[in-house]
Amino acid sequence: MTTTHAGREAAANNVDAVVIGAGFAGLYAVYRLREMGLAVRGFERGSGVGGTWYWNRYPGAGSDSESWVYSYTFSPELEQEWTWSSRFPPQSEILRYLEHVAERFDLKRSFEFNTAVNGATYDENSNRWMVKTDKGDTVHATYLVTAVGCLSAAAVPNIAGRDDFKGAWYHTGQWPHEGVDFSGKRVGVIGTGSSGIQAIPVIAKQAKHLTVFQRTPNFSVPARNRALTPEEVSNLKRNIKEIREFCRWSTIGQPYDFKNQNALDLDRETLRQQLEDNWQKGGFEWMFGAFPDMLYDQRANDIAADFVREKIRETVKDAKLADKLIPAGYPIATKRLPLDSGYFETFNRDNVTLVDLRETPIERIVENGVRTSDTTHELDIIVFATGFDALTGPLTRVGIRGRQGRKLEDKWADGPRTYLGVATEGFPNLFMITGPGSPSVLGNMPTSIEQHVDWVCGLITHLRKSGAVRAEPTTQAEEHWGQHVKELADQTLFPQADSWYLGANIPGKPRVFLPYIGGFGTYRKLCNEVADKGYEGFAIG
């Protein structure tokens, strides 16, 4: 029997699962779902795979997780074949890795690129999702898997006069593929989060002059990036199974964890020495391989914060400038802690100026630069390193409608409500990879992603084996989970900072702590228990 063109079209438009996004999560979701024998179609806005690493091509962009754990674990062969160049790989290398994975496992054939999903509606009668794309396609699927990333909805602030600017402007999260030539240019960077802190030292070396517009001074810890020696590579490859297993059950999915000891139990000198030793090592371990009370107890946190303040003061030669760069008013690490490669040193350069927006706020953007309350800073290029509408933004902009046409953004108007961060009541068979209410951004993303995809695939297998067609969290399970996520966050110092974890960076966004802060290992255990109890908390039918 030959299949007609119309027949093939119909089959392609009626699939088991639609996956949105071709980053770390989408690629793995397609791999696993296909392995289970499901018909899958994927859609990706970009022209290629990579997600975060496709979009964030700004100078200095790279991973803050160690390369040997910032990768997939599902294929031991892949793990052995791929060799990372350095401790913290640059964006270009991570993108190359994801392209390699897509080729190696033949994943691209399941995706339509340059295609955004601009609506997905659940039909109760057919128990199918009707997914629409900006290319005019409509695809029907039983399962809708969102792999849209946590930090993919770029936030360009609505500063008056932005359209008057005659120069070029860019957001770090939507960087042009051809790159930006800063040579001979007067460049302004607005924002000093992780992206700004990575980009600023690199741009400063290229630009004629760099003006950094800082609203909130940020803590930062040195990355101490370096090339990996062949000996390290072979040791890592030999021990990779154990390293991965440790990450899976650790607090933030990294190859280290908090000590079984509090900072406040140590005498000052011992504590200082430990902080110094870890500072010399570089990386997140300084905070997240240290003392748990630094995130719970203000006194312990103050010790850590003062340690970094001293480091800034030692690094920045001009004492008045150092004062402006030194953070105060929020506990360290309660805004995502950046890793840097010479960030504070950059302010010792003659071609770099810091504008403290707390003293001289931006009034507007004008045709030749940025006007603050005291002067106009003349610029040829503005870089918005101003962050993202995190976790909820990438989901609510898709146009997802559940039972009775209810919009996801309406349901979440007062903050996201999910069960395990993976599903939401009223939206059957919608599975969110690293959605709000899951550990997601509080650690190593690939660890989180693989756990989520595997768990969702387990749930889908359960449905298929038991002859059920839908899973949807109960209202009660969702409420309990929301309370639990909030209670855990409230036990820490995190809610004290105006961070994107709380939606505080987006005007009008409800102040709700978005990720689950109980730790990757604990979360994994909870998810496994839910599965062992026949997916307790889900209405399955």
Under the criterion CB under 6 A, does residue 385 sit at the interface with ligand N01? yes
- What sign for the dihedral angle of Cα 265, 270, 272, 278? negative
Q: Which residues pair with 295 in a beta bridge?
A: none
Under the criterion CB under 6 A, does residue 63 sit at the interface with ligand N01? yes
Q: Give the residue, chosen from 168, 180, 357, 468, that forms a contact with ligand N01 under the rule CB under 6 A.
A: 357
Q: Which is nearer to ligand N01, 402 or 495 (CB)?
A: 495
Under the criterion CB under 6 A, does residue 157 sit at the interface with ligand N01? yes
**Element at 449 (helix H, strand E):** helix 445-465
Residue range at the interface with ligand N01 (CB under 6 A); choices 175-183, 191-199, 456-464, 507-515? 191-199
Under the criterion CB under 6 A, does residue 191 sit at the interface with ligand N01? yes
Q: Give the residue, chosen from 87, 336, 377, 509, that forms a contact with ligand N01 under the rule CB under 6 A.
A: 336
CA nearest to 520, candidates 412, 469, 444, 454: 444
Residue range at the interface with ligand N01 (CB under 6 A); choices 127-135, 262-270, 314-322, 379-387? 379-387
Q: Which is nearer to ligand N01, 200 or 422 (CB)?
A: 200
Q: Which is nearer to ligand N01, 58 or 419 (CB)?
A: 58
Under the criterion CB under 6 A, does residue 152 sit at the interface with ligand N01? no
Under the criterion CB under 6 A, does residue 334 sit at the interface with ligand N01? no
Which residue bears the tokens 């951004």? Answer: 441
Under the criterion CB under 6 A, does residue 387 sit at the interface with ligand N01? yes
Instruction: Compute how many other C-beta atoms are within 10 angstroms of the C-beta atom of residue 118.
Output: 15
Under the criterion CB under 6 A, does residue 341 sit at the interface with ligand N01? no
- Interface with ligand N01 in residues 270-299 (CB under 6 A): none
- Please give the Cα distance from 18 to 141 (Å, whole number): 6
- Please give the Cα distance from 501 to 336 (Å, whole number): 8
- Please give the Cα distance from 44 to 139 (Å, whole number): 14
> Least Å distance between CB 216 and ligand N01?
3
- Residue partners of 157: CB distance under 8 A and separation at least 6: 190, 384, 386
The count of chain residues that interact with ligand N01, using the rule CB under 6 A, is 27
Closest-by-Cβ residue to ligand N01 is 193
> Least Å distance between CB 529 and ligand N01?
29
- Please give the Cα distance from 438 to 433 (Å, whole number): 9
Which residue bears the tokens 């898709």? Answer: 398
Q: Give the residue, chosen from 51, 149, 193, 495, that forms a contact with ligand N01 under the rule CB under 6 A.
A: 193
- Please give the Cα distance from 333 to 346 (Å, whole number): 22
H helices within 13-90, ranges in order?
24-35, 52-55, 76-81
Q: Report DSSP letters for 235-267, one per residue.
A: HHHHHHHHHHHHHHHSSSSSS----SS-GGGS-
- Please give the Cα distance from 530 to 163 (Å, whole number): 51
Q: Which is nearer to ligand N01, 393 or 426 (CB)?
A: 393
- Please give the Cα distance from 504 to 20 (Å, whole number): 27
Under the criterion CB under 6 A, does residue 198 sit at the interface with ligand N01? yes
- Please give the Cα distance from 169 to 171 (Å, whole number): 7
Tokens of 102: 């897509």
Provide the residue count of the chain. 541
Under the criterion CB under 6 A, does residue 500 sit at the interface with ligand N01? yes
Under the criterion CB under 6 A, does residue 386 sit at the interface with ligand N01? yes
472 by DSSP, 3-state: which?
Answer: strand
Identity at 104, one-letter amino acid code = R
Q: Give the residue, chosen from 151, 228, 325, 332, that forms a contact with ligand N01 under the rule CB under 6 A.
A: 151
What binding mask, one character per residue, do residues 201-230 give for ligand N01 by CB under 6 A, x or -? ------------x-xx--------------
Under the criterion CB under 6 A, does residue 446 sit at the interface with ligand N01? no
SS3 content of the chain, % helix, strand, coil (to 5): 40, 20, 45
Q: Give the residue, chosen from 117, 400, 441, 471, that forms a contact with ligand N01 under the rule CB under 6 A.
A: 441
Residue range at the interface with ligand N01 (CB under 6 A); choices 38-46, 77-85, 195-203, 367-375? 195-203
> Least Å distance between CB 284 and ligand N01?
10
> Least Å distance between CB 24 and ligand N01?
12
Under the criterion CB under 6 A, does residue 188 sit at the interface with ligand N01? no
Per CB under 6 A, residues contacting ligand N01 are 62-64, 151, 157, 159, 172, 190-196, 198, 213, 215-216, 336, 357, 385-388, 441, 500, 505
